[in-house]
Structure 1
């Protein structure tokens, strides 16, 4: 009898336990947060749930916590935004970076005169003979006369319009273009070949360059210089290894200086005689020096080319100093206003540069607007220049003239500058082009002196008349340069320490508090929702319920429920069942 009463008491205790501890899901969640706050190691959260606290105190504590959370989140967001907007930083890494690691820049020497008088005369004679031959095929007998040669000779000057896009004399040079198509067609392309013609009438490097020395070693100038396309037409180029033709193979190996000073650099004697001038690109005599990267097409509108004018009868000293910028590979993983050489590989074959990107952008614009490409642009971009792409002739000059300002001006990356609305509209927009992350910057300092012949033996000692000669000396002024490193402002562990410090300062936050939050809001909440508690955990739950509902009566523990009902007494229990 006693055993059955005890068993009945235990069963009743279990039922009352279930009724006392059986909470709806929202109360389970509430219990989880209550337990979290009461035991949380973060600053002051237990003050939000303690029974001894007045409602006003709890409200004040709640406001303080809200302000702390809001402030910390605002500072963290501001820090993150600043990092994402400017994730990289440039710092001086080495003030004595050896120049022997840096290739000598490419040097271009361009005659101010773009069409040779002598070679123009030869071409006029060629056209005259072609005209006589065409007349003979039609049964008209004629012969080459001086008047005929002079007529063609005068018209050849119009070919200079393909360099400067000037439209003066449009009707005349359009008529001359029709004659060229008839008299001088290239059978391979079935039209007049502008590239071949300019190669025939441009001043030669043999005429312009007389003596050439590099690293104090004199060689025939043809061993140092080659004739290459530039934005100024055909020029004589040194150490220019950019792929030529339609391939992406380098055209040579970059040269490096043996030391510093003019004896270890490039020394050239230039013929600045005006006797062969026929179409100068400026109202003065001399030559134009271009300095640029060995891998880049020289075009001053892209910003990669430095120019210096070489006046007749002068000795010119061009001193080079360098700044090297190297970007960490980690920079590639973040937002940046630059590109690495191996980006856009399919398009640039691992040789991306800002200049090459702008040149391609300019070429696309010219083709879209004028349906041709000027002869002096590179041809190894197969996605732009194909076998069917027309080289601009005199008939395209009006279109080229119309947009020449656009192609000489690049739209800046910064938009919305007041007062520049017209410039934005009239400039070339290439948003896909970014500067290189790693590059070498060449800085120039130029001085010159009137040329003086050295009677004791010098670079001009073999010349009797030096009135039309100039000397160009290009060299490194110092054996070291500056190395700048471009790196990520903050790595992941820097951000972790920054954010952790901010949360720790305002909230007492740490890794352990994260684990506590996960435990109470996941594991403990699961226990509340599934009612999977041990006796000790039941006691804890009753304790929490007492704090959550101080105006209700609860047993001190689950054991008390068992003892009371197992004793067999039927007196009313001294607690109120919690039901909600």
Structure 2
């Protein structure tokens, strides 16, 4: 086929020549034409051309020889593997290498190297953050209903501010041959039997003896206290937050012989049901002649399965059944500190203080060893770093909000025999039907690492898994296939020559 004959018009007499129209003269065209005549702009165009020519002839290292522009039109000389990769690459900026000048290639190469360095820097900073802070707490639910996740009622330890009862003649007790524990039992007021007048639990009037039990604490001197513990969580209609624990107590001022403060009343400690009250336990003072409304905000923290894969030093808490105690059945930080304190006293004095956690083989200290116990006892600041008592990974925390007002005898809820100056009323209940649930988790898992890596590399370079596969294909697979093809062609040529 003669293409020249084919492209000629079939009817030359009907050919219409192209018409040339003059571009209308506008103010913008006149302004541009005047600016082109300025020496400054002409010098700028000339200088730009010289700089581009100098960059074109700039000597490049051998490993950057691919940045030099092609000297042909791209039709005679076959394209290199780098140019083919740039045309097909999904990474941002690589397609500009095809058909660009040398200085443009160098500029884009510097920009790409800067993006790679920035992405590596941000990835390294993210790795340092995950190393310095391996765990983090998330809020799973702000108000999780108790019907879906039952929240146990906290344990309450109520202690009188009076430590010694005036009804006992402690002068005669000191002369008699009594032990330290017997002396404490006889001097401490019998508050559970005499100072609790009425109790009401979840809307039902119950005997205080069935709800309370006697417990001894030694956080601020030995004291006989009353403990309220309900291990069963409320379910269904019992979860009414307004129906908590209501108590009516009598401080018995005439029995005060040695008080912690100048006021009369009680001290209430709030903690978990399986823990014991220590110096750091949350507490509130309940003065005589008052109505105390204590509102509880519950918080539940549970650890995810990824936390178990971390070492103890990184997660900073004990899992369930990871550390056992010799006295308490359930581990908690308060129980661990109480046992550590008792162990330290036993190592120094060869005995355990009365009413403190101890092993069955440890003897109880007598009055002759009181000075040793008081001198060798560890205070709160020294006990923390020596005992290695970390918090539990699964625990409940309660925040207490109090509203204390003066006791009014004319109130309809009070009985007629109420002694306003000596008695007090305490109402303890949950604030709402739900509690906040927290999740203790690792800062970075393999899934979050993939998301972080993909987000950072995608932001700076536009990379993805497809980009990685492309790079592997053009660096490894394609050269290997080309080499095998050349070897096969050479083998065929040698075979034909034979």
TM over 0.5: yes
The structural deviation recorded for 1:489 is: 4.6
Could you tell me how far 1:197 is from its partner in structure 2? Answer: 4.2
Determine the C-alpha separation between the residues in 2 that align with 1:226 and 1:314: 24
Corresponding residue for residue 108 of structure 1: 157
Equivalent of residue 432 in structure 1, options 385, 388, 400: 388
1:161-560 alignment runs, 5 A limit? 183-184=177-178, 192=179, 194-204=180-190, 205-231=192-218, 232-239=222-229, 253=232, 258-261=239-242, 264-301=243-280, 305-334=281-310, 337-339=315-317, 341-347=319-325, 351-377=330-356, 379=357, 385-402=358-375, 406-409=378-381, 426=382, 428-430=384-386, 432-454=388-410, 458-461=413-416, 463=417, 466-506=420-460, 509-515=463-469, 534=484, 536-538=485-487, 558=490
CA contact (8 A) 2:304 2:439 kept: yes
Report the Cα offset of residue 275 of structure 1. 2.3
Equivalent residue of 1:460, what SS? coil
After TM superposition, give the deviation of residue 430 of structure 1 in Å.
4.7
1:212, 1:269 within 8 Å by CA — same for their partners in 2?
yes
Cα offset, 1:512, TM superposition? 4.4
Q: 1:517 to 1:370 in 2, by over 3 A?
A: farther
8 Å Cα contact 1:341/1:352 also seen in 2: no
**What are the superposed Cα offsets for residues 523-577 of structure 1, whole Å, 9 maximum, x if unpaired?**
789x79xxx964x2338xxxxxxxxxxxxxxxxx7389749x949xxxxxxxxxx
Check if 1:74 corresponds to 2:121: yes
What RMSD over aligned residues (CA atoms) do the two structures have, in Å?
Answer: 4.3
Cα 1:339–1:559 change in 2 (3 A) is closer
Q: Which residue is equivalent to 1:137?
A: none
> TM-score, structure 1 length as denominator?
0.58
Separation in 2 of the partners of 1:364 and 1:239? Answer: 26
**Per-residue deviation, 1:518:** 5.7
Q: Give the whole-Å Cα distance in 1 for the aligned partners of 2:348 and 2:321.
A: 28
For the 8 Å contact 1:318–1:445, the answer to whether it is kept is yes
| Match runs of 1:108-187 below 5 Å | 108-118=157-167, 120-121=168-169, 150=171, 152-153=172-173, 155=174, 183-184=177-178
Aligned residue for 1:226, secondary structure, equals: strand
| CA distances 1:306-362 after superposition (whole Å, capped 9, x unpaired) | 222222222222222233334433343347545365151544898332222333333
Q: What residue number does 1:419 align with?
A: none
Report how far residue 225 of structure 1 moved: 0.5
What is the total number of aligned residue pairs between the two structures?
405
Contact 1:358 1:430 in 2 (8 A): no
- Alpha-carbon distance in 2 for matches of 1:392, 1:427: 21
